[in-house]
Chain A
Amino acid sequence: MSAHSLALIRLLQVSDTAFPSGAFAFSSGLETLFNEGRVTKPEGVQAVLAEQILPRWASFDRVFLHAAHAAAGDLSKLSEIDARCHLQSSSDRLAHASRRIGRSLLSVHARIGTPGAAAYRSHADQPDLREARSYEPVMQGLIGAGLGLNVTQCELGAVHSTCMAFVSAAVRLGRLGAIEAQGLLAATAPRILATLEQPVPQLAGAFSPFAEIAALRRNTTQAVLFAT
């Protein structure tokens, strides 16, 4: 019981939006979708979350999170999983975002002494690896293991962060009320559960073109608030 509760205490801590992770500067294409008028209503935000963001997480990020959680402690294996994530990331901008968030997480956990974080940071800091390692799901798996979370707790935290980052971007873009956002998350909870109840795919793959292309199409001449 007490080991379980301790893991939950840590899970709550690191899943809180007050935990500095850098994730707040990324909207996963939502900003572009708003600016282009492709998403206008809260229902649209919910649809993108349920049909694009969650499936992408489940078919891509989740696979790497599981692999990294299982490999925690084995630096060369982790690096290999990270490299695979790098090679399989087809959207350059989303890959860059994932690395930046992963690096932020790694840096914070190294500072607060989460087991495994500092060692991996030294590894990923090598000049030739800086642009090719520290992907968010790999870091979540490695850090989750370091915090004593089991893989289910670890993926709960990760999927929660993904949904929160997306919905809170909509709030900060002024398109969704703060309370409306919570209603949306409540309504999406069964969908999240269903996603987690699916078996983890053997191979990672992502097909969420609506959000991915929006993230790529991000207009840099126009005013933009988010990095994706």
Chain B
Amino acid sequence: MTLLAPDQNTRAPGPARVGIGGPVGSGKTALIEALIPVFMSRGVEIAVVTNDLVTKEDARRLQASGLIDPARVVAVEAGACPHTVIREDPTLNIAAAEDLEARFPGLDLILVESGGDNLASTFSLDLVDWWMFVIDVGQGDDIPRKRGPGIMLCDLLVINKLDIAPHVFVSADAILAEAAAVRGEGRPVIGCRCKGTQTQGVSEIADLIMRDLLFRQVPA
């Protein structure tokens, strides 16, 4: 039995789609702001879809940042359900990504930022090829131990705001080690700081995305 119509199922080899999920305020938009110049310097053409919970705030912030052509950033409303637009009913996000693809034919990468949600949120693989989950040290050092689907199932776990760890009584090394142990062998965890003069971990995240996604269509 075929589950999907054979010629509809596979997407054309368009841009890779990367999901960025995680709790409210963990630094998802800040990470995108930090990743944009890194990708641009590597010649990777990108666009962004944001799913703000209540406003187009994140989209406006990126559009006003001067980092990216504002036309390459679109907002999709989440109807009060940030997890629905990325999981149960990702159709509006799929349509937004398709629109970007049609308008910018040379795109390599589309980043989809989920509205801040809880530890159970995951991305539908109908929408993205690969996704990361961003938490931060300020949310408590026990977060990895809670093993939510977001933490366990993502392709990359990012632990952000390492710079403030001492101020919230968290050991950065311990939380990174615990996260790696909980996720298991071969499941990457990257510690990061994406704000301030000295960023950390951002280029490693870009490396991983490029390795896992952008080189996949290169013939051997």
A residues contacting B by CB (< 8 A) are 18, 20-22, 24-27, 100, 103-105, 107-108, 110-113, 118, 125, 127, 130, 169, 172-173, 220, 223-227
Considering the complex, give the chain B residue whose CB is closest to the CB of A25.
B79
Considering the complex, give the chain B residue whose CB is closest to the CB of A227.
B77
Cβ–Cβ contact A224 & B54, under 8 A: yes
Considering the complex, give the chain B residue whose CB is closest to the CB of A27.
B79
Residue B91 contacts which of A18, A22, A113, A169 (CB distance < 8 angstroms)?
A: A22
Given contacts A24-B84, A113-B4, A130-B102, contact A107 B77 (CB under 8 A): no
B71 CB–A CB distance under 8 Å: no
- Per-residue CB contact flags for chain B residues 18-59 toward chain A (1 = under 8 Å, else 0) read 000000000000000000000000000000000001111000
Classify chain B's interface size.
20 to 34
Given contacts A25-B77, A224-B77, contact A104 B92 (CB under 8 A): yes
Q: Nearest Cβ distance between residue A76 and chain B, in whole angstroms? A: 22
B220 CB–A CB distance under 8 Å: no
Enumerate chain B residues within 8 angstroms of A113, measured Cβ to Cβ: 4-5, 8
Cβ–Cβ contact B4 & A100, under 8 A: no
Cβ–Cβ contact B78 & A103, under 8 A: no
User: How far is it, in angstroms, between the C-alpha of A224 and the C-alpha of B95 when the chains are bound?
Assistant: 21
Cβ–Cβ contact B102 & A169, under 8 A: no
User: How far is it, in angstroms, between the C-alpha of A22 and the C-alpha of B95 when the chains are bound?
Assistant: 10
Enumerate chain A residues within 8 angstroms of B152, measured Cβ to Cβ: none
Interchain Cβ contacts under 8 Å between A and B, 10 examples: A20-B88, A20-B89, A21-B89, A24-B81, A111-B4, A111-B8, A111-B9, A125-B102, A130-B99, A226-B77
